[in-house]
Amino acid sequence: MFWKFSFLCALLVAVFLAYWIRFSSKVNFVVQLPEFEATGFAYYHEETREKISKVYLSLPYVQPPVGDLKLEHPRPLTEDPNRKLQSFSMPRGCHQQEDMSQYNLTTSEDCLYLNILVPIQDSEDPSGYPVLVWIHGGGFVYGLNEFYGWKQLAKHFNPRNVIVVTIQYRVAFWGFFSLGDDQNAGNLGFWDQTAALAFINKRIHLFGGNPNRVTVWGNSAGSASSHSLTISPHSNKYFHQVIQSSGSFYNLWTHTHKTYDMSKEIAEKLGCQHKDSKNIKECLKKVPVEKIWAVTKPYGLMRNSINPICQREGLIVALMGENPVTSVFAYHHGVRTQDQHLYTKANLTNYLKTITTAEDVAGDKADQLLNISESYYYRDEYLAEQDPKFWYKRFVELASDETFFGGILVEIAEKLELGWPQYMYFMDYIHVDHRDLVGIPTYTPHAYEYQYLMDCIPYFPVDKSSFSSEELELTEQLVSSFAQFVKTGNPTTQKQKWNEIKNAEEIEYLHKILKTAVKYSAIGGIGGSSLYFFYKNNYSLENIGLIRFGRAGFTASSVIIDYKWSLFGLSTDNDTYQTKLKACHSRSAQKLLDLARNNGGVFIKIGQHVAALQYLLPDEYTSTLSVLHSRAPESDLEEIKMVCKNSLHKELDEVFTDFNPKPCGAASLAQVHEARLKKTGEKVAVKIQHPKVKARSVVDIATMEFFLRIASAVFPDFRLDWLLEEAKTNLPRELDFLNEAKNADTVRKMFSHLKFLRVPKIHHEYSTDLVLTMEFCEGGQINDIEYFEKHKLNKHEICRKIGRIYSEMIFKKGFIHCDPHPGNVLVKRNEETGEEEIILLDHGLYQNLEETTRVNYSHLWLAILKHISHLPRQTYKQHIPKTWKVWQRWLLPEDKVADICKDEIARICGEMGIGEYFGLFACIVASRSWESINKGITKVAIKEEERKEIQHYASTLVPQILKVLDLMPRQMLLILKTNDLLRSITYRLGTQNRPDSFIEMTRFCVRSVYQHSIKKSHHWMGQMRLYLRMYLVLFQIYAFEHYLMFREYFVKTPSLL
């Protein structure tokens, strides 16, 4: 009996220990930094009890600003690896404008800390997780992290594979006191933010973060801070994207010269009336905090408080060229509900005169601005008789425009000129219990949505557990969009499309984050925006969309007329017809080449893609346009020098020697020069962006969008909206050379096992978003037949290797180089090993394939290649006798195999959303006829007759092809582009009909399919069975490969032709 009792006790202890281990939130995670050792703990989702985060709270990023360091610039931490830090609570906030203990919030001068929330699983991306940095608001005089909490942020973003960092900075007197001289220059709060970003940039990799994928996110004053950080060269090098929630540094409340007078007045009230500014600072360092609170509290908020300044150590404008998200919300100005109907025209007029057009705001333009404002805000005033809240609503509109939207609009307009992609959402939802409290149900208070995103206390009492399904959906979509933006630079998700802003006077923004897009006329942005549009347009004539697309329209018209006139009345089987048709092809191709060269940018990109369609288009087009792969128009040397100077902040000859003024290659977005680094003498290739390409691309895409909308209305069967959306998404990536540098580093590390692949080393010290300095690699273009013959390169081996690289990218790694045109792929013979070597250039455009897309694409290719060995029995049981065993599928006749594969293609295309067009999609993917796919593309060589057949059907099935391209997953577009470019290389080298040309692809497809199944299997026996099947299939492929090698060596039949 005793042993039973002992066993029961032991069992209970074991269960208790297991429970404690599973659910304890004190599981430690240790990260060693040079400055200290940080110990974090695990955070479990309250509802699912799933472990989702590693939490590190209260980590210092600079020395405490106390004692002698009070009112001084932040100082870096000293290195002390033996210092051990662990905290389970948020840090105390920085001292505010008043004592916050009455609100149960503790503050301190020692407050410069950050918190790091990390996904529980290590990142599969060797670069690490993207990072989202939160900067709190509070009008620069209030705000602390404790108010916002950390649990909701962890719950929202860590499961979406995003690291979140929340930072604190000095505010009020401690953060923005300034006398406008060197001793008290001000903006210490901004310097704190910059120091935090520098620390994150330097150390976040130790927590699994990617320092090259940092997004800054701020609300209100934090949003204005985010804007200021983007335009300061001290800070904008530490991050790449920004989410601004209701605030711009162009809003008048964010900075004022009154700061000098108020600072001087405060110093005098605190008894520091010295003439020397240094002595004033030393005096202020000794004043007790309680005395400071007593003096500063009456100053209030906004323009009546100590704010940032724009002089001395303020903001020096520098262009970053990244992906901001600008957001604006309705602003509730605090008039009591019961008094809103008492607000009159006289109240509004008084506000306009004393606030909006005050002398310190408008200067000598006060009268002019008052007239403009009155004419706008007094519009339709006759309606006041029917609406008792009419004048209050106009007041809220004015206050919103003046306080937020006016400055935001100016910021948007300036960024549009610089080519910065921008998106906006408009929050006008309010909880049902709060609508009566606001008085106007559609007027949402400032920053209202943060009660849905964070742990912060809402404006009005609300039970967060009672949120409606609509509110939960709102939260889900907002968080998903933010996370998607952090990862990709575009907030569009599968559920919600965001339209990029194209016109600052007519902004298309996301409304409520709930499925509806709304047009908003920005004329209401009085107070900062109305005068802005009188400023002259900077674009040169070449940048005006009307002229550039007028040129395109003329070219298109002349091509159409040429074909119609030259071929009029001729029969298609007439020899004269064929002769004249070829002549038309040549003339039209030359016109398109001239158009691409004259317009540049996007047009050259299109021309390069057309040149790759050698299997589809006439030779006159592909051969004529192929020069765009490396001989695109060149920028003037003086323009190139100016780009370098503005981007590197140094003259060209300060960085490089032996800079060849003649580019060794010119492409659509940039050109490459040979040079040597002045510091080391190393030979480098310097890739420099064409100076006007960003401005032109924005104009081209905007104009293209206009014409596409007209074309879609006139020809509803010819919709190309998807193509435009891809251009919008991908161009910004290609225009960011820092993104290209990051991709190059990733690929070099990812494919280090392929000794024949070379990716040029990046010199990050001399690289920016506009200039990329890399190792100089010599070689010939992969389609240069003369180079192959001169250097005796084996073209079959080269094609095998390039197939290995891209098969592994697509089917195994899911990280695919999407611009492999011949100018970006060089070949050479390695002098040491004697082997053929492939050099991969231009890493600006990569695609991270979703696992579903990657696996479906693998299944599709196996079906096209007539591989059924990986299929489960139920897939093909209807095609075989019931008595057959699994291994007997090898005995199936070819027509049965074709039926099985047809069913499999239809099934996969159904999952991809393509449905009834599965046959056409398979033909597009394989670039073969359906007859050849049925027979087996590894058994039937493609001949000239089939090429002509494909061209014929392509011309007659344009609406269906466009429909397929519109239905397919967006990631497939870049995969198909990559397929086209690779296929053009094999056609050029004449290796497309080798029976072993699909061996590498098949091998990786099999691995992809089986490994996906193994991952889904939860039982070790099932996993072992799948492993055995996979290795059996791989062995069969291996045997077939060696059979082909044997046949080629002894029988000499390397081709199907």
> Is residue 528 scored above 60 in pLDDT?
no
How far lies 673's CA from each of 172, 448, 658, 861, in Å? Answer: 50, 52, 10, 40
Q: What is the DSSP letter of 762?
A: B
pLDDT of residue 335: 40
960 contacts 917 by C-beta, under 8 angstroms: yes
pLDDT of residue 253: 59
The mean of the pLDDT values for the chain is: 74
pLDDT of residue 817: 82
Read off the pLDDT band of 857 (50, 70, 90): confident
pLDDT of residue 514: 38
Between CA 245 and CA 214 the distance in angstroms is 17
pLDDT of residue 381: 62
Between CA 267 and CA 263 the distance in angstroms is 6
- How does pLDDT run across 936-971, given as a tens digit for each residue? 777 777 777 777 777 666 656 666 777 777 777 777
165 contacts 134 by C-beta, under 8 angstroms: yes
Between residues 720 and 503, which one has the greater pLDDT?
A: 503
Three-state SS at 725: helix
Between CA 37 and CA 207 the distance in angstroms is 12
> Is residue 336 scored above 90 in pLDDT?
no
- How does pLDDT run across 139-169, given as a tens digit for each residue? 788 888 888 889 989 999 999 999 999 999 9
Cα Rg of the chain (Å, integer): 33
Between residues 115 and 908, which one has the greater pLDDT?
A: 115
CA-wise closest residue to 1016 among 1007, 1026, 1006: 1026
Quick one: what percent of the chain has pLDDT higher than 70?
A: 65
pLDDT of residue 613: 58
pLDDT of residue 120: 93
Beta strands per DSSP E along 445-589: 506-511, 516-521
pLDDT of residue 382: 56
Mean pLDDT of 503-531: 39
Between CA 1055 and CA 942 the distance in angstroms is 11
> Is residue 199 scored above 60 in pLDDT?
yes
Between CA 631 and CA 843 the distance in angstroms is 19
What are the residue ranges of helices labelled H in 663-764? Answer: 693-714, 721-734, 737-750
Catalytic-residue membership of 819: yes
> Is residue 865 scored above 50 in pLDDT?
yes
Between CA 1045 and CA 1052 the distance in angstroms is 10
- Catalytically annotated residue among 192, 700, 784, 819: 819
**Secondary element (H or E) of residue 425:** strand 425-427
Between CA 148 and CA 145 the distance in angstroms is 5
Beta strands per DSSP E along 586-654: none
Mean pLDDT of 28-35: 92
pLDDT of residue 524: 28
> Is residue 55 scored above 90 in pLDDT?
yes
Read off the pLDDT band of 91 (50, 70, 90): very high
209 forms beta bridges with 129
303 contacts 256 by C-beta, under 8 angstroms: yes
Distance of CA 1007 to the CA centre of its chain: 30
Of 27-41, 424-438, 703-717, where does mean pLDDT reach its minimum?
703-717
* Four-residue CA torsion sign, 982, 987, 989, 994: positive
Calculate the dihedral angle through the C-alpha atoms of 730, 735, 737, 740, rounding to the nearest 10 degrees: 20
Q: What is the DSSP letter of 761?
A: P
pLDDT of residue 200: 96
- Rounded to 5°, the CA angle 1016-1020-1022 comes to 65
Mean pLDDT of 920-947: 77
pLDDT of residue 984: 73
Between CA 227 and CA 219 the distance in angstroms is 11
Mean pLDDT of 831-838: 88
CA-wise closest residue to 109 among 198, 176, 38, 169: 169
Of 181-195, 510-524, 554-568, where does mean pLDDT reach its minimum?
510-524
CA-wise closest residue to 968 among 865, 862, 853, 807: 853
pLDDT of residue 873: 56
- How does pLDDT run across 544-553, given as a tens digit for each residue? 445 565 676 6
Between residues 493 and 958, which one has the greater pLDDT?
A: 493
The model's pTM:
0.48
Query: Taking the CB of residue 794, how many other CB atoms lie within 10 A of it?
Result: 13
Between CA 829 and CA 970 the distance in angstroms is 38
Quick one: what percent of the chain has pLDDT higher than 90?
A: 17
pLDDT of residue 545: 47
How far lies 853's CA from each of 656, 760, 806, 868, in Å? Answer: 44, 29, 16, 20
Judging by DSSP bridges, how do beta strands 323-329 and 425-427 pair with one another?
Answer: parallel
Read off the pLDDT band of 989 (50, 70, 90): confident
Query: Taking the CB of residue 958, how many other CB atoms lie within 10 A of it?
Result: 11
Left (φ > 0), alpha (ψ -120 to 50) or beta: where does 1053 sit? beta
Of 438-447, 643-652, 657-666, 775-784, where does mean pLDDT reach its minimum?
438-447
Mean pLDDT of 391-402: 61
pLDDT of residue 153: 93
- How does pLDDT run across 748-799, given as a tens digit for each residue? 999 999 999 999 999 998 998 899 999 999 998 888 888 988 988 988 888 8
Read off the pLDDT band of 646 (50, 70, 90): confident
Between residues 715 and 626, which one has the greater pLDDT?
A: 626
Between residues 101 and 897, which one has the greater pLDDT?
A: 897
Read off the pLDDT band of 523 (50, 70, 90): very low
Of 397-411, 579-593, 790-804, where does mean pLDDT reach its minimum?
397-411
pLDDT of residue 112: 96
**Secondary element (H or E) of residue 974:** helix 971-989
Between residues 994 and 53, which one has the greater pLDDT?
A: 53
Between residues 574 and 376, which one has the greater pLDDT?
A: 574
What are the residue ranges of helices labelled H in 275-364? Answer: 277-284, 289-296, 345-351, 359-362
Between CA 66 and CA 805 the distance in angstroms is 56
Between CA 512 and CA 738 the distance in angstroms is 34
CA-wise closest residue to 237 among 211, 209, 218, 219: 211
Between CA 117 and CA 57 the distance in angstroms is 8
Between residues 938 and 842, which one has the greater pLDDT?
A: 842
> Is residue 434 scored above 70 in pLDDT?
no
Q: What domains are there in the chain, each with its CATH number? A: 18-236+260-304 (3.40.50.1820), 323-534 (3.40.50.1820), 541-629 (no CATH), 633-692+733-777 (3.30.200.20)
508 forms beta bridges with 519
Mean pLDDT of 231-252: 76
pLDDT of residue 375: 66
Give the tokens for residue 164.
């979140």
Between residues 811 and 990, which one has the greater pLDDT?
A: 811
pLDDT of residue 516: 31
CA-wise closest residue to 425 among 481, 468, 470, 476: 481
Angle between helices 575-599 and 545-566 (to 10 degrees): 170
Three-state SS at 908: helix
Give the tokens for residue 451.
């009660």
